[in-house]
Amino acid sequence: MTPSETFAELLRGPEPFLALAPMQDVTDLAFWRVVAPHGGADVYWTEYFRVHGDSRLERWILDSILQNPTGRPVVAQLIGNDVAALVRTAIELQRHPIAAIDLNLGCPAPVVYRKCAGGGLLRELNRIDAILGALREAVTVPFTVKTRLGFASFAEFDNLLALFARHDIDLLTVHGRTVAQMYRPGVRYDLIAQAVRSLRCPVLANGNVYSAEQALSVLAETGARGLMIGRGAIRNPWLFRQIRQRQMGHAVTLPSGRDVLAYIGQLWDSQVTPEASESAQVQRLKKFMNFIGEGVPPAEQFLHEIRRVSTRHDFFRVCEEYLDHESPITLEPLETAQPQGLPG
């Protein structure tokens, strides 16, 4: 089967499916290579292709499609507001082995939404309407959308749902926060459930899925077709496997501290670039550690120390101090940890 046929089967299938969320400059090809052997998602979303009048497909994102190491379908995500450029890019991407085209209507990064892209488009429903119509006409593989509940208020969601209902999209992923919320607490799973009830297309639930038990609770509360997981999968690459274990009624297999330490080592090796200095490499890994550290007890103390290292030696010294043991670790985030936002 083609990737799009495999994806279409997942959309119709009897069991909820699991997707890796797109997170810019994090969920790249190198990260896919690390996370897939730990259980992996059923579908992978690329980082977003930036689309404008003079844009070309970013090679490093295209490589995640052409060198896909996961064996699972890949959805190519677009971000932008230029209708003609979005159509051009969608047509070009369909020459490659993609499962679907996805439109990003949720990125909360100010540098993005101030340009009326990502979550910024949620303030301009007429513009979204024109984009959805043009892309639906141009896209012959499944066409999907990732959105937030609104730009500033949950009250905006009713109008958004009415807009999505007018277009023949194949899947809607709903991140249960507004753009203004960024990644702060208060995910509205009840509004994701409203989308499930209101739309003909399947809906994926997204936002703060952090454990197998809680994942099943979100599925039950929302009735969603599946889950899209981002930060939780960075923190715990075993999470997809753990959710499947719970779905089958099995006990969850927890990693040991040394398993987590090995995962961090794999991330380090995957992110090494010859031209990067040691300090730059450490800073790069801190982007991952901001999430992993939320689940390493005591999280506040671990994050305080890891955010202050500047050498490889000190980076692994701190990691080993907290993780060089065989005790199981849940990797569930602690309330004292302060999550860091990512565009996506």
Task: Tell me which residues are annotated as active site.
Answer: 107
Nearest CA to 85 among 56, 63, 124?
A: 56
CB-based contact 302:293 (threshold 8 Å): yes
Nearest CA to 80 among 108, 44, 121, 27?
A: 121
What whole-number distance in Å separates Cα of residue 213 and Cα of residue 87? 40
What whole-number distance in Å separates Cα of residue 121 and Cα of residue 111? 13
**Coil, strand or helix at 273:** coil
Give the end-to-end CA distance of the chain in Å, rounded to a whole number: 29
DSSP 172: E
Q: Which residue carries 């991330």 as its tokens?
A: 267
What whole-number distance in Å separates Cα of residue 251 and Cα of residue 302? 28
